[in-house]
């Protein structure tokens, strides 16, 4: 029983740290205990250890650990992918021989398909072009999305790649390339998630969710059936007349009786909430018509608005456009109505800079007042991720000067801290 407790504590601790690491910096959790825990684990404790190490070894130990961390997290290499594969393959090597003989042929087929799908989607997510922008395809990516004149303004050049930044793109310091519709760099696929592989990444998350849920529940059912052979009155939930310590002792006996399947089942059940949370958050961003990169930018905008540093003014629908800097986007049915800028001194942008728009600059105080032109509704957003050159079927035939914003307000879906 002591061994079981130690295994449980270790797995729970790892899952907790991973959960805080991935979700503690999300905009929706800012100013919450989760964000504070993230700072505690990744800022306050490391700083305290650094001060101690500076006193004892002049920083040699923490310097080596920092180098290793940067190497693992900020260099492109397959270490994390291999680690992810090892976790899956070792767990399945322990789990499948104990489970397959006990289930029907149909269940065996279902289990094997469930096991294979994450490997297929992991390969596709890793090997697919995430949306690298090159000189050859630059014009294509410039015409995929319109500039929203808030997060993305025409005329900005990537100082590394030396070409104009297409709307919704971002330069990845790890991949050393600009990525079209960049979401984030994912160490688990050793690549960025962007225009070319976002759909494979979603399917990888979904298939992994199904794998750990199916495997955990199936293992739980088989372990319960085995325990009932010796304890016929045993139920999955403790009966009212059963002492909780006795309930745990019976579970411990059952797990020790088949430690390979028991350990794999425990791992699946304890990691399932983490993977489901990541998948649901990613799906929520799709619902919002935004990316991880854009959600971070909107969070910064929200703080600037709250502090009075953000301004906007109308954009004329028939304004003259420089087609080299702002090429037409015939497939997109929406265009911005305002330009939004921030300043360092809380004063309106200088008229001498000749920014786009007309009229006087006014403060914009709330994201609820801002339209996200990239949000076309959940199904259209999903279609835009899964199909290249997705057409929306309405509005794209209108002249550009007659198109109006169709997206919903940025914070209407509570995707950002209020």
Structure tokens at 285: 């961003």
Coil vs helix vs strand at 338: strand
Of 161, 186, 288, 329, catalytic = 186
Structure tokens at 266: 């425990």
186 is catalytic: yes
Question: Are 286 and 382 a contacting pair, CB within 8 Å?
Answer: yes
Contacting residues for 238 by C-beta, under 8 A, at least 6 apart: 244, 247
Residue 306's closest CA among 392, 405, 411? Answer: 411
Question: Are 182 and 293 a contacting pair, CB within 8 Å?
Answer: yes
Angle between helices 198-230 and 79-99 (to 10 degrees): 30
DSSP 188: T
Dist. CA 101–CA 95, nearest whole Å: 11
Question: Are 361 and 313 a contacting pair, CB within 8 Å?
Answer: yes
Dist. CA 265–CA 220, nearest whole Å: 7
Sign of the alpha-carbon torsion through 195, 197, 201, 202: positive
CA 405-298-47 angle, to 5 degrees, is 170
Contacting residues for 15 by C-beta, under 8 A, at least 6 apart: 270, 271, 273, 274
Question: Are 172 and 133 a contacting pair, CB within 8 Å?
Answer: no
Dist. CA 271–CA 212, nearest whole Å: 7
Annotated catalytic sites, by residue? Answer: 186
């Amino acid at each position: 029983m002591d061994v079981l407790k130690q295994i449980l504590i270790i797995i729970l601790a790892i899952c907790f740290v991973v959960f805080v690491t991935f979700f503690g910096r999300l905009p929706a959790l800012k100013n919450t205990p989760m964000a504070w825990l993230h700072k505690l684990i990744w800022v306050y404790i490391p700083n305290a250890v650094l001060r101690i190490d500076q006193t004892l070894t002049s920083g040699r130990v923490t310097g080596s650990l920092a180098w290793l961390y940067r190497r693992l997290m900020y260099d492109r290499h397959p270490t994390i992918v291999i680690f992810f594969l090892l976790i899956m393959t070792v767990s399945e090597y322990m789990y499948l021989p104990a489970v397959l003989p006990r289930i029907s042929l149909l269940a065996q087929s279902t289990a094997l398909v469930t096991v294979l799908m994450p490997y297929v989607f992991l390969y596709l997510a890793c090997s697919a072009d995430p949306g690298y922008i090159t000189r050859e395809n630059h014009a294509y990516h410039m015409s995929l999305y319109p500039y929203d004149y808030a997060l993305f303004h025409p005329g900005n050049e990537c100082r590394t790649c030396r070409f104009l930044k297409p709307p919704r793109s971002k330069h990845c310091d790890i991949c050393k390339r600009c990525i079209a519709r960049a979401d984030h760099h994912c160490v688990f696929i050793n690549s960025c998630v962007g225009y070319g592989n976002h759909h494979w990444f979603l399917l990888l998350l979904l298939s992994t969710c199904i794998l750990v849920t199916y495997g955990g529940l199936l293992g739980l059912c088989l372990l319960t059936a085995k325990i009932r052979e010796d304890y016929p009155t045993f139920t999955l939930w403790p009966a009212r007349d059963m002492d909780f310590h006795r309930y745990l002792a019976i579970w411990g006996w059952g797990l020790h009786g088949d430690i390979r399947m028991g350990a794999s089942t425990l791992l699946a059940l304890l990691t399932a909430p983490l993977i489901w949370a990541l998948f649901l958050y990613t799906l929520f961003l799709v619902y919002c018509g935004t990316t991880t990169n854009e959600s971070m930018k909107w969070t910064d905008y929200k703080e600037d608005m709250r502090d009075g540093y953000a301004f906007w003014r109308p954009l004329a629908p028939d304004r003259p456009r420089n087609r080299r800097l702002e090429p037409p986007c015939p497939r997109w049915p929406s265009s911005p109505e305002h330009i939004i800028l921030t300043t360092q001194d809380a004063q309106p942008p200088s008229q001498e800079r000749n920014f786009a728009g007309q009229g006087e600059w006014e403060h914009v105080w709330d994201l609820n007042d801002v339209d996200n032109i990239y949000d076309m509704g959940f199904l259209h957003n999903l279609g835009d991720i899964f199909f290249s050159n997705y057409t929306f079927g309405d509005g794209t035939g209108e002249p550009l000067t007659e198109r109006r914003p169709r997206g919903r307000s940025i914070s209407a879906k509570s995707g950002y801290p209020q």
